[in-house]
């Protein structure tokens, strides 16, 4: 397709089949390259979070978690399948997440970005807050975007 693959975005329920698929995508994209082992024991804490996925037909190709943090919404565990990167999947998920935050009356979106993703978030209007820090063994920066 000239405009890239047709991708549908959806909010899903924790524990659903799409949620289980998102666990696998997060493992493949975020954990496996760092040599981290999949540990399903940590996922019950996600029950109260908002889960967003991107689908190409029956295939789950992107996901993220939104966690309430007082007046803010925290974006985390953002993953897009390698084959679907550079097709605006991540940008569309971020835009929908921001719309959800505004709908919820949140003041800003916050996140911890891997240094490899800084340019992506900067291009979407996020700004770096504070110094670089290490998380899951790699460099990260806190980033924010305020809603006016």
Sheet containing strand 72-80, strands side by side: 8-12, 50-56, 59-69, 72-80, 108-114, 138-146, 127-135
In this prediction, residue 4 has a pLDDT band, given cuts at 50, 70 and 90, of low
In a domain, 53, yes or no: yes
Q: What is the reported pLDDT for 1?
A: 37
Range 31-35 average pLDDT: 88
In a domain, 92, yes or no: yes
In this prediction, residue 148 has a pLDDT band, given cuts at 50, 70 and 90, of confident
In a domain, 117, yes or no: no
In a domain, 145, yes or no: no
In a domain, 12, yes or no: yes
- Better-predicted residue by pLDDT, 76 or 37: 76
Range 10-25 average pLDDT: 94
* CATH number (domain holding residue 28): 3.40.630.30
The secondary structure of the chain as a DSSP string is: -TT----EEEEE-TTSHHHHHHHHHHIIIIIGGGTPPP-GGGGGGGTTSEEEEEEETTEEEEEEEEEEETTEEEEEEEEE-GGGTTTTHHHHHHHHHHHHHHHTT-SEEEEEEEGGGHHHHHHTT-EEEEEEEEETTEEEEEEEEE--
In a domain, 93, yes or no: yes
* Residue 2 clears pLDDT 70, i.e. is over it: no
In a domain, 78, yes or no: yes
- Whole domain around residue 21: which residue ranges? 8-105
In the chain, how many domains are there?
Answer: 1
In a domain, 147, yes or no: no
């Amino acid at each position: 397709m000239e405009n890239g693959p047709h991708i549908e975005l959806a909010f899903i329920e924790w524990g659903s089949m799409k949620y289980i698929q998102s666990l696998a995508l997060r493992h493949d994209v975020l954990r496996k390259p760092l040599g981290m082992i999949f540990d399903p024991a940590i996922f019950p804490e996600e029950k109260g979070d908002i889960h967003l996925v991107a689908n190409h037909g029956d295939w789950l190709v992107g996901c993220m978690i939104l966690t309430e943090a007082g007046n803010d919404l925290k974006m985390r565990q953002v993953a897009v399948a390698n084959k679907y990167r550079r097709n605006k999947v991540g940008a569309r998920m971020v835009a929908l997440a921001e719309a959800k935050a505004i709908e919820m009356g949140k003041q800003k979106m916050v996140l911890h970005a891997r240094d490899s993703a800084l340019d992506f978030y900067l291009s979407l209007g996020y700004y770096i807050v504070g110094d670089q820090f290490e998380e899951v063994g790699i460099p990260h920066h806190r980033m924010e975007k305020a809603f006016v």
